[in-house]
Amino acid sequence: MTLEQQISLLTGNTDLALISLILEKVKAEISIYLNQEYNERFNNAAVDMAVIKINRLGTEGLQSQSYSGVSENYNEDYPEYILKQLNSFKKKWGMA
C-alpha cells in the first residue's frame, strides 16, 4: 500500500492530489528537521504527520474554540510520539 493510500484510508480523504502535496511538504519538513535527505525509513512518521495536517485543514491557526458548551483546543506542534520517532533518527545517526 502506498503512503498516499495509507493516508487516504486513515483520514477518509480521497483527494490524492492534496494528499500527495501534503506528503511532499511533510517529507521536506522531516528532511529539514533531521538535516538529511528523506529516506523511506521515515515513512511511518511522514504518514502520521500528514494525517495530522489533513485533519487540521480549515483550522490552521486556530488555538481554541467553544460552541454549545463544547471546547476544542488545537496544538500547533506534533504529538510527542511523532517527535520521539524523529528524534530517535537523530540519535541513531549521530545528529543529536
* Whole-structure pTM value: 0.77
Compute, in degrees rounded to 10, the torsion defined by CA atoms 58, 60, 63, 67.
-10
Check if the beta carbon of residue 74 is closer than 8 Å to that of residue 56: yes
DSSP SS3 for 65: strand
Domain ranges of the chain: 3-92
The predicted-structure confidence for 33-66, as pLDDT tens digits, reads as follows 999 999 999 999 999 999 999 998 865 544 555 5
Beta strand segments in the chain, E: 64-67, 70-73
What whole-number distance in Å separates Cα of residue 92 and Cα of residue 13? Answer: 34
